[in-house]
Structures are given as structure tokens and as C-alpha cells.
Amino acid sequence: MPRKSRFVASAILATCLTLSACGSADDEDSLTGAFTKGFDESWNSEFVAGCVTESKKAGATEADATPICTCLAKELDKSLDGISEKMNPPEAKLEAASEICLGEL
């Protein structure tokens, strides 16, 4: 991996390890399900925006950070279990998602 890509990947990984978020899916017809669905959608967009912002502070460009942050949100959404885990993602799940997304570079 070229030196610049390693720096960007490291910056994004470090950023994502410090981020937290929220979400889960229930029956969408129930009040809880509707809340959870909205929460998941909001979590995804807020995670990507926060990840890109923090990655830029760490020296990545928006163009480099956006696809990785989007991939991380997608992978985390698949692996995190419920709102409480999205509020405080386990480090092991963050690292697993990072390996998947950074492997796609």
C-alpha cells in the first residue's frame, strides 16, 4: 500500500475507533419499530458525516475518507446489535469493519 494510502487508512481507522453512534430494526409498524428505523437512518448519515469530518481533521481528504466512511457505516450497520451497541460500538466490531473496508482500497 502506498505511503499516502497508509496514512489515510490509519487516520480513518483512528477516527472511526473514536466515533460512536446508534440503531436497530424492529417491526416498522410499531412505535418502537418506527423510532428504530428513523434512528438507523439518522445513525448512518451522522456516522458518515462525523467520520469524514474527523478524518479530514486527521489529514485525510474528503474524497479519500467518504468511500471508506460509507463502507464502515454499512459494515457496522450489519454487525452492531441494537441501539445500545451503536451508541458504544465494541472495538472488535469496529476493527473487523475497518479491516473489511480498508481491504477494499
pLDDT (tens digit per residue) in 16-30: 544 443 333 445 566
Digit-coded pLDDT (tens) for 38-65: 777 888 899 999 999 999 999 999 999 9
Here the contacts of 57-63 (C-beta below 8 Å, separation 24 or greater) are 57/15, 58/11, 58/12, 58/14, 58/15, 59/7, 59/8, 59/11, 60/7, 60/8, 60/11, 60/12, 61/8
Comparing C-alpha atoms, which of 53, 45, 43 is closest to residue 86?
43
- 44 occurs within a structural domain: yes
In a domain, 4, yes or no: no
Average pLDDT over residues 75-84: 89
Is position 36 within any domain? yes
Q: Is residue 1 part of a domain?
A: no
Cβ atoms within 10 Å of 21's Cβ, excluding its own: 24
In terms of residue numbers, what domain contains 93?
A: 28-103
- Residue that is written with C-alpha cell 473514536 in the block: 18
Q: Would 51 be classed as within a structural domain?
A: yes
Total of domains in the chain = 1
What sections of the chain are H helices per DSSP? 3-18, 31-57, 62-79, 82-87, 91-103
In a domain, 40, yes or no: yes
Asked if residue 16 is part of any domain, the answer here is no
> pTM to 2 decimals?
0.66
Mean residue pLDDT of the chain comes to 78
Question: Mean pLDDT across the stretch 85-94?
Answer: 91
Residue in the block written with cell 448519515? 45
